[in-house]
Each structure stands twice: as structure tokens, then as C-alpha cells.
Amino acid sequence: MTSPFVTTDWLAQHLKDPEVVVVDASWHLPNAARNAQAEYLAGHIPGAVFFDIDGIADTDSALPHMLPSPADFARAVGALGISQDMTIVVYDEVGLFSAPRVWWTFRSFGADKVFMLEGGGPKWRSEKRGTETGLVHREKRRFDANFNADAAVGFETVSANLRSHAAQVLDARPAPRFHGEVPEPRKGLKAGHIPDSTNVPVSLLTENGRLKSPETLRTIFAERGVDLDKPIITSCGSGITAVTLALALEQAGAEHVAVYDGSWAEWGARDDAEVES
């Protein structure tokens, strides 16, 4: 299995390669009191462009950062100077939080050589590697988007699954949110979880900004009763950490994994969605 990560040493050696593009994919929860774009402008890996998760999205949807249309995605990332055949290295300033979402998005639209920086921005900075300030402008490129419709599912699929049980539904949110013991960070959402779903908090899967080993991940999933050989749908608050969960499942050996793009931001807002707590 090809690793989805590259090391800081590898990136440092390839920073000046014209066919390698670095992407700052930082994003923070609404209650985190952090501004990812402002932090990017204040300092980022040299040459990195900023991927606005909320901007490169379906802006006609009331839901946060839903996948855009292939045409809109191609236009946006092409303007950032990225083509589908480049080597794309994605990172975030938490370590491994929002970078998987952008990695998955590029892959879903047909980019084959897309990786994440192991340890992300925190590891790069801890090694005293260089950074630069301000906005990076790259020459515009053409991105030919080829969307993989199997990568994501919508409300209708997840709702129908309540009756068919065709897939296991895993929820990456912290346990108190899954059980409805604390309010959601987004206002107006119900508390609880999708019926018959299983809680696998993303905090169990990472350590010090890195994904745990495939062997450890397999143990964690087994302890939660997850069958890696059967179809799986991942969910979270708004489709960010659901991708980290999908990434962990893939590294553990699961082959049939889809992300519920709307996640709890959609399910918890709909009157016709069943909720357990």
C-alpha cells in the first residue's frame, strides 16, 4: 500500500520542484477562536497556497463546505496554480485535522499524486524549517476534474441505510457529542447521533498530529465492532473529521468507505431525520 504521507525531509528536498505544489489546508471549528487564513498570511511553508475549505465548496448550499461541482473545483484550484497531474502535498497547522479533507477532495476529483505532510505544520516548525509570510501567487493551471461519485454519499443514502443496513455508519465526533450530552458547536442542531451508528472518535486514531499505525488502527476498529470487509459510511460534525476516519479505515485495510458529506450539520438540522441519544 502506498503511503498517503510524505515526510518533512522529503518536502524540504522538493520545495523548489515546479511540479510539486504545497497546500495549506488549515481549518478550525467555529468555536476554536482561530482564523486559518490569517495564520497562513502570518507564516506558512514556503510556496504554499491556501485552500479555503469554506470557499472552495458548494456555496449555494446552506450546509458548510459541501463538495463543489467538478467545474467549480477545477476553476478554483486551477486559479491556485494546481493541475491534476502535479504532486500535491497538503498540510494543516494542527498536525492532522483538516488536511485529510482536502487530500480526499483532490483525490475525489481525480488527482492521483496527492499526499499529506506527516506531522503537518507543527512538525515542520518544530524542526526550525523556514516559513514565509503573505499570499503566494502561482501561475494559473488547468485542472481536469474527474469526480468519483462513490467517494461521498448524501442524506437519502444514509436515511435508506436505516432500513437496509447495507453499510456500517461510523461517527468520528467526540463521545459526549455522539451521546447528546453536550451541545453541538453549530447552533440549531439536535443532540445525539444517527440510529444504529457506532462512535469511533477521531481522537482515538491520531497521536501527536499523526495517524496511528495500521496494526493499532485495526485493533481499535475491532474493539468497536467494525467489520473492515463490509461497506462503511463515515460521518462527523460537518464532513471534516469524517475523512480522517475514512483515511484510518483505508490504512487499516477497508476498501468500501464513503463519506457522508453533510454529516451532522445536515442530519441534526432536518426534522425528518431520526436521532438517537
pLDDT (tens place) for every residue of the chain, 277 residues total: 589 999 999 999 999 999 999 999 999 988 888 999 999 999 999 999 999 999 999 999 999 999 999 999 999 999 999 999 999 999 999 999 999 999 999 999 999 999 999 999 999 999 999 999 999 999 999 999 999 999 999 999 999 999 999 999 999 999 999 999 999 989 999 999 999 999 999 999 999 999 999 999 999 999 999 999 999 999 999 999 999 999 999 999 999 999 999 999 999 999 999 999 8
Residue 1: what pLDDT? 52
What's 70-87 look like in SS3? HHHHHHHHHHCCCCCCCE
**Residues noted as catalytic:** 236
- Contact between residue 249 and residue 107 where contact means Cβ atoms under 8 Å apart: no
Q: For residue 254, how far is the Cα from the chain centroid? A: 17
What does the alpha-carbon distance between residue 86 and residue 241 come to, in Å, rounded to a whole number?
25
Question: CA 82 to CA 193: how far, in whole Å?
Answer: 38
Rounded CA separation 178/197 (Å): 9
What cell does 195 get?
440510529
Q: Are 85 and 142 in contact (CB under 8 A)?
A: no
What DSSP string runs through the chain? ---SEE-HHHHHHHTT-TTEEEEE-----TTS---HHHHHHH-BSTTPEE--TTTSS-TTSSSTT----HHHHHHHHHHTT--TTSEEEEE-SSSSSSHHHHHHHHHHTT-SSEEEETTHHHHHHHTT---B-S--------------TTSEE-HHHHHHHHHH--SEEEE-S-HHHHTTSS--SSTTPPSSB-TT-EE--GGGTEETTEEPPHHHHHHHHHHTT--TTS-EEEE-SSSSHHHHHHHHHHHHT---EEEESSHHHHHTT-TTS--B-
Task: Give the pLDDT score at 19.
Answer: 97
145 burial (CB, 10 Å; 0-12 / 13-18 / 19+) is buried
